Structure 1
Amino acid sequence: MWLVVGLGNPGPTYAGHRHNVGYLVVDELARRAATRFSAPKGMRAEVAEGRIGGVGADAVRVALVKSRTFMNETGGPVSKLANYYKIAPERVIVIHDELDIDFTQLRVKFGGGDNGHNGLKSIRKSLNTGDFYRVRFGIGRPPGRQEPSDFVLSDFPASLRADLALEVGRAADAVECLVLEGLERTQSKFNS
């Protein structure tokens, strides 16, 4: 089984923000797996259990996760769910926004630092390791002198929404490929 965590902030105020692309990707994965999110008692997260890769013996079980905490407290629910499902950090995939990658670009990797991302920092601290997979969804750098924190906490403009839907689908494809085919194959197909 895999724990697939989409990073974001809870509530309608944040729903369309760049910082919430992880939520969008796990929503797409849940749609594909024909499963719904629920909020298990005491977990501080929404979870949808399902399968990736079709039906039968070839399908792989996943727990899709959206924390109900703010980004900088995501580690607690992720750690709790990893313990509940008995999933080791190397079977955790975190999907997050990445300022250092242009929009329409993805990078999939294993391990590494948090690069100033508070969600990754919280997860690294709670799992006591950075050895988990990351699907880095490029959002690009803010224009002009806009503060990065203001940029990530702003909506994607209407002009990018069609491309956003395509990129969310591509990131979901990358997660499925990672689970079914492994890191090397996924990197060769999706890292741009």
Structure 2
Amino acid sequence: MASWIIAGLGNPGSQYEGTRHNVGFWLLDQLARELGANFTVQNRYHGQLVQCSLDEHKVYLLKPLTFMNRSGQSVAALANFYKIPLQNILVVHDELDLEPGVVRLKRDGGHGGHNGLRDIIAQTGGKNFLRCRLGIGHPGHSKLVSDYVLSKPSPTDRQQVETAIDNVLQILPDVLSDKLDKAMNWLHSQ
């Protein structure tokens, strides 16, 4: 049975709940509800954590409480303690370059300007982890990005993101079972 980390990126605190930057938290909250699991604060890993089983895999669901720009501190602490290799880490994050409702999986790559990914790469010493990129759309100008990601989406955009999250949860067993091509083909055709 392989061990995995699924890290959903976001910012802690009630003022950030429901914001576009927290779609990684949204996905983990939905998955935990479906599994009947509850997060607990784990200071050792600088985050909220739940350990569960999913299709015979041991899975650690992690919501870093370090704020987005320091997400790597949390991910690295958990990965190092349980000796989980980079290829068994899935990071779920918001993606400006994709429209709401669009989701893409990829392995490896740079940070694409995403500060959470930038810190995970720096703290773990590598970039060979999976990324689940949940589209949130772009405000149109780079000077508007900060306010945009920290604001709540329209009801229509939120529904599209929630549909994308449902789609990701459907293919998650394939991702964990190393059937990434199958998962990507289905997910990317939605």
TM-score normalised by the chain length of structure 1: 0.91
Match of 1:177 in 2: 174
Does the aligned pair in 1 maintain the 2:4–2:88 contact within 8 Å? yes
- Aligned-residue offset at 1:159: 3.2
Identity %: 35
SS of 1:109's equivalent in the other structure is: strand
* Letter matched to residue 20 of structure 2: R
- Structure 2, unmatched stretches of 5+, are none
Deviations 1:129-178 (A, max 9, x none): 11100001011111467611111111011233333332222222243331
Deviates more, 1:71-80 or 1:29-38: 29-38
> What is residue 163 of structure 1 aligned with on the other side?
160
1:15 aligned to 2:12?
A: no
Match of 2:118 in 1: 121
Deviation at 1:41, TM superposition (A): 3.4
CA distance in 1, matches of 2:147, 2:164: 22
Paired with 2:126 and 2:109, the residues of 1 have a C-alpha distance of 9
User: The residue matched to 1:147 in structure 2 has which SS?
Assistant: helix
CA contact (8 A) 2:6 2:89 kept: yes
User: Secondary structure of the equivalent of 2:177?
Assistant: helix
- Whichever residue aligns with residue 73 of structure 1, its letter is R
Q: Is the 8 A contact 1:26 1:172 kept in 2?
A: no
Q: Which protein is richer in helix relative to its size?
A: 2
Partner residue of 1:5 out of 7, 28, 47: 7
Please tell me whether the aligned partners of residues 100 and 157 of structure 2 are also in contact (alpha carbons under 8 angstroms): no
Most deviating of 42-51 and 6-15: 42-51
1:91 aligns with 2:88: yes
**What TM-score do the two structures reach when normalised by structure 2?**
0.92
Amino acid at match of 2:116: G
Cα distance in 2 between the residues matched to 1:46 and 1:149: 25
The gaps in structure 1 that reach 5 residues or longer are 54-58
Alignment correspondent of 1:27:
29
- For residues 89 and 47 of structure 1, what CA distance do their matches in structure 2 show? 18
User: Counterpart of 2:147?
Assistant: 150
Per-residue CA deviations over 1:44-85 (Å, capped at 9, x if unaligned) read 1000111112xxxxx211000000111000101110000111
